[in-house]
């Protein structure tokens, strides 16, 4: 038994199960958290509402789903054997392969015995007498643990829009984030898809190739860059593996977004028109998210950003044959990159197919959904099936669904009613011994998330080992440190163009959600240094309390 679980607590009746740490969620974050903590000798129980590991890749099985960070980088780095033995088949692996990888990791590291599937964590209350979390699950189990880790995912709470008549629709309705496991065959069907974010941009070309007709209902056009996806050769995989130490180091320490890439040394306006165009062409041909790394000021300077945005708008006009359709597809209400940029295979070209119709819903929205039609501007678009590619209540949605009570019975939802407040995105003051992986206030969704997940998991694991080694029972973010960090996160965001977009980074896709720029934009490398320095200074900004006698050993 570890030191933490030997901490005396309230004497509970036999029905309460105890462990050192409860982890909520078994995506890439929960799986690695379990692995690290178990290796340190902590007893851990993981709860996952889905039927298997994989999180995002368990739920998002829509046609065309794949990662948009290259698989050789969008993969765990914690085990050299793992990264040497697993062969990714394509530059951007499709969802089934990523899920297979997650399952392989679960089996290889024997994670399943400590994960309970098909079970939600519904409630968690901090007991100030025993300094333990008391947790209730959807099957009525009562548990207590010294620590609670939310590995609940930033994009795991699918958003269903409120549209008049939606529940009355007589055909089948699918959400991209909850796709049926047996798949869907749209052959000979008239299909409507609502939303044109990343999931739609990936699925539209595939659905269009099956359906009799596809209607794409678009409110806000998004910028998308060709993926240039292709099979990976043995030589390419080997080249990556040879350079893995440097690639992984760079992603962790030097990068802004946890992706290994050549960093730009100049701004967009430092080049003349021809040179700039050549550079954008080169990036466009290369494909992928690194398009935005053509210049170092694209997200800082509006005039610089305009040059990249105009380039992509021109590309759309070149690809899409009908000028009116091209105009509707050209984003015009946000700087390029300030909403997560999309990566596609033949998205814009799909609108040249005779069986695809783009319906602009920006002027009036969708009036209503009828038995077998979507009504826009007085016209009924007859469909047999409807796909909701309407995204997620991002970053805070899944946390908010758990009833979390901290000191004095205060709920996290009350505390975050004006927007999420955390210290380093890892903890929130008033909620001791509760950690969040890739929480708001950390680089999170602005990065290659597996790198950010590994960084948070390692930091939390090291912190718990530190506490155990010193007989410490409670860790809690101080209010001062939290306020300072929240102000810093906002200050950094304000120096960029990001807050100009009505993005899910800002909570703008959810009616009534406070408009706060949630992720930390200072860069993955910078952020890691800050976290490491905080730990090196004895967890500066956190109050840590010893078991007996009570004393505070580190505050700021």
Ligand X SMILES: Cc1cc2nc3c(=O)[nH]c(=O)nc-3n(C[C@H](O)[C@H](O)[C@H](O)COP(=O)(O)OP(=O)(O)OC[C@H]3O[C@@H](n4cnc5c(N)ncnc54)[C@H](O)[C@@H]3O)c2cc1C
> Which residues form the interface with ligand X (CB under 6 A)?
24-25, 27-30, 47-50, 55-56, 58, 60, 65, 67-69, 74, 120-121, 151-156, 199, 398, 402, 437-438, 448-449, 453
Q: Smaller CB distance to ligand X: residue 104 or 375?
A: 104
Task: Enumerate the β-bridge partners of residue 66.
Answer: 94
121 vs 299, beta carbon nearer ligand X: 121
Are 77 and 258 in contact, with CB atoms under 8 Å apart? no
Between CA 14 and CA 25, with CA 19 as vertex, the angle to 5 degrees is: 115
Buried b (16+ CB within 10 A) or exposed e, 180-209: eeeebebeebbbbbbbbbbbbbbbbbbbbb
**Residue nearer to ligand X on the CB measure, 69 or 294:** 69
> Exposure pattern of 441-473 as b/e (b: 16+ CB <10 Å)?
bbbbbbbbbbbbbbbbbbbbbebbbebbeeebb
Shortest distance in whole angstroms from residue 58 CB to ligand X: 6
| 3 versus 446: smaller Cβ distance to ligand X | 446
- Nearest-approach distance from CB 332 to ligand X, in angstroms: 25
Q: Among residues 361, 282, 279, 358, which one has the least CA distance to residue 320?
A: 358
Give the whole-angstrom CA distance, residue 142 versus residue 135: 6
Nearer to ligand X, 55 or 335 (CB): 55
CA angle (124, 129, 134) in 5-degree steps = 20
Distance between CA atoms of 21 and 34, rounded to whole angstroms?
9
Q: Could you tell me the smallest distance in angstroms from the CB atom of residue 162 to ligand X?
A: 21
- Work out how close the CB of 78 gets to ligand X at its nearest, in angstroms, rounded to a whole number: 14
Beta strand segments in 48-114, E: none
Peptide bond before residue 156 is cis, with ω within 30 degrees of 0: no
Q: How many helices (H) and strands (E) does the chain have?
A: 16, 20
Q: How far is the CB of 212 from ligand X (least distance, A)?
A: 26
Whether 82 contacts 32, CB under 8 Å = no
Q: Which is nearer to ligand X, 48 or 473 (CB)?
A: 48
CB of 67 or CB of 298, closer to ligand X: 67
Q: Which is nearer to ligand X, 24 or 34 (CB)?
A: 24
Residue 213 beta carbon to ligand X: minimum distance, rounded to whole angstroms: 25
CB of 520 to ligand X, least distance (A): 15
* Shortest separation between residue 437's beta carbon and ligand X, angstroms: 6
d(CA 22, CA 134): 10
CB 85, min distance to ligand X, A: 21
d(CA 318, CA 347): 13
Q: How far is the CB of 489 from ligand X (least distance, A)?
A: 19
CA 350 to chain centre: 27
**Min. distance of Cβ 10 from ligand X in angstroms?**
24
Nearer to ligand X by Cβ, of 7 and 143: the residue is 143
CA distance 443 to 447: 6
- Residue number, 290 or 307, with CB nearest to ligand X: 290
Smallest distance from ligand X to CB 386, Å: 19
Point out which residues pair with 413 in neighbouring strands.
none
Closer CB to ligand X, residue 154 or residue 194?
A: 154
User: Which residue lies nearer to ligand X by CB, 301 or 454?
Assistant: 454
Q: E strands, 103-180, where?
A: 115-116, 121-127, 132-137, 142-150, 172-175
| Distance from the first to the final alpha carbon of the chain | 32
> Which class for 246: exposed (0-12), middle (13-18), buried (19 or more C-beta within 10 A)?
exposed
Q: Measuring CA to CA, which residue among 158, 219, 191, 184 is closest to residue 64?
A: 184
What's the CA dihedral at 20, 115, 78, 524 to 10 degrees? -80
φ/ψ region of 112 (left if φ > 0, alpha if ψ in -120 to 50, else beta) reads alpha
Beta carbon of residue 71, minimum distance to ligand X (angstroms, whole number): 9
**Nearer residue to ligand X within complex by CB, 29 or 298:** 29
């Amino acid at each position: 038994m570890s030191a933490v679980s030997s901490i005396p607590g309230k004497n509970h009746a036999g029905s309460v199960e105890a462990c050192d740490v409860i982890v909520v969620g078994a995506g890439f974050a929960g799986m690695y958290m379990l692995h690290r903590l178990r290796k340190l000798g902590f007893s851990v129980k993981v709860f996952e509402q889905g039927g298997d590991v994989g999180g995002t890749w368990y739920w998002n099985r829509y046609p065309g789903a794949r990662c948009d960070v290259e698989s050789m980088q969008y993969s765990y780095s914690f085990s050299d054997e793992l990264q040497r033995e697993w062969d990714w088949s394509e530059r951007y692996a499709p969802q089934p392969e990523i899920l297979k990888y997650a399952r392989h990791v679960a089996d290889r590291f024997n994670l399943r015995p400590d994960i309970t599937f098909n079970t939600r964590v519904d409630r968690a209350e901090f007991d100030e007498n025993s300094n333990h979390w008391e947790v209730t699950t959807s099957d009525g189990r009562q548990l207590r643990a010294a620590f609670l880790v939310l590995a609940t995912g930033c994009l795991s709470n699918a958003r269903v829009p409120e549209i008049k008549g939606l529940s009355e629709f007589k055909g089948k309705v699918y959400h991209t984030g909850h796709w049926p496991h047996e798949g869907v065959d749209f052959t000979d069907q008239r299909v409507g898809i609502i939303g044109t974010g990343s999931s739609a941009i990936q699925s539209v070309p595939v659905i269009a190739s099956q359906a009799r007709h596809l209607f794409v209902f678009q409110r806000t056009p998004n910028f998308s860059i060709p993926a240039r996806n292709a099979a990976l050769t043995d030589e390419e995989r080997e080249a990556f593996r040879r350079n893995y130490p440097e690639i992984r180091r760079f992603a962790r320490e030097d990068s802004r977004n946890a992706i290994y890439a050549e960093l730009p040394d100049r701004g967009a306006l430092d080049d003349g028109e021809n040179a700039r165009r050549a550079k954008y062409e080169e990036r466009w041909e290369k494909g992928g998210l690194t398009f935005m790394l053509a210049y170092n000021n694209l997200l800082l300077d509006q005039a610089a950003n305009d040059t990249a945005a105009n380039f992509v708008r021109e590309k759309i006009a070149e690809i899409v044959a009908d000028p009116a359709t091209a105009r509707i597809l050209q984003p015009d209400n946000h700087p390029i990159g300030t909403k997560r940029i999309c990566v596609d295979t033949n998205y814009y070209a799909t609108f040249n197919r005779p069986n695809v119709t783009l319906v602009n819903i920006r002027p009036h929205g969708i009036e209503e959904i009828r038995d077998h039609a979507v009504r826009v501007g007085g016209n009924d678009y007859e469909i047999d099936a409807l796909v909701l590619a309407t995204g997620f209540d991002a970053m805070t949605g899944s946390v908010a669904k758990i009833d979390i009570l901290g000191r004095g019975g205060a709920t996290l939802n009350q505390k975050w009613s004006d927007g999420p407040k955390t210290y380093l995105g890892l903890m929130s003051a008033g909620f001791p011994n509760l950690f969040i992986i890739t929480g708001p206030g950390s680089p999170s969704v602005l990065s290659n998330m597996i790198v950010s997940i590994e960084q948070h998991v390692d930091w939390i694991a090291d912190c718990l080992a530190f506490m155990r080694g010193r007989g410490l029972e409670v860790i809690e973010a101080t209010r001062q440190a939290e306020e300072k960090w929240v102000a810093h996160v906002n200050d950094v965001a304000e120096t960029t163009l990001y807050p100009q977009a009505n993005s899910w980074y800002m909570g703008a896709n959810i009616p009534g959600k406070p408009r706060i720029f949630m992720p930390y934009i200072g860069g993955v490398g910078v952020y890691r240094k800050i976290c490491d320095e905080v730990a090196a200074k004895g967890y500066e900004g956190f109050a840590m309390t010893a078991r007996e006698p009570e004393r505070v050993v580190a505050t700021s």
